[in-house]
Amino acid sequence: MPDSRRIEPGADLRPAPIHIIVNDRVTLCYPGETVATALLAAGVRGLRRSVSGTPRIPVCNMGVCYECTVTINGLEAQRSCMTLVKPGMRVEVADEA
């Protein structure tokens, strides 16, 4: 997935990248990022769907709104804004568009 949405994409101070698996696709991210940050930087826009089917995205980025919930390593309804990425982490989102 593209890296063009990150601030200062060529920053030399960044640690070595790691990879997570998002809907069975390898996705580049960096240690210290939250899952929500990695997903947004990779261009993923719909993390889950509301009861009416509307795509939902992170709103508060501090764990209060629960709009960013995804499945992480098989555990449903995990707050992506409160979870740091780990190498090989498997993330399932409802909608990547």
pLDDT digits (tens, 9 = 90+) for 32-76: 999 999 999 999 988 988 889 888 888 998 999 999 999 999 999
Stronger pLDDT, 43 or 85, i.e. the higher one: 85
Give residue 1's pLDDT. Answer: 47
Residue in 87, 91, 90, 92 with CA at minimum distance from that of residue 30: 87
Using only C-alpha atoms, the chain has a radius of gyration, in whole angstroms, of 13
93 in Cβ contact with 25 (< 8 Å): no
Question: Under CATH, what is the fold of the domain 18-92?
Answer: Ubiquitin-like (UB roll) (3.10.20)
Q: What is the pLDDT of residue 25?
A: 95
Per-residue pLDDT, 37:
94
Q: When comparing pLDDT for 12 and 59, which is higher?
A: 59
Domain ranges of the chain: 18-92
Band of pLDDT at residue 97, cut at 50, 70 and 90 = very low
Beta bridge partners of 14: none
Q: What H or E segment, with its residue span, contains residue 39?
A: helix 35-41
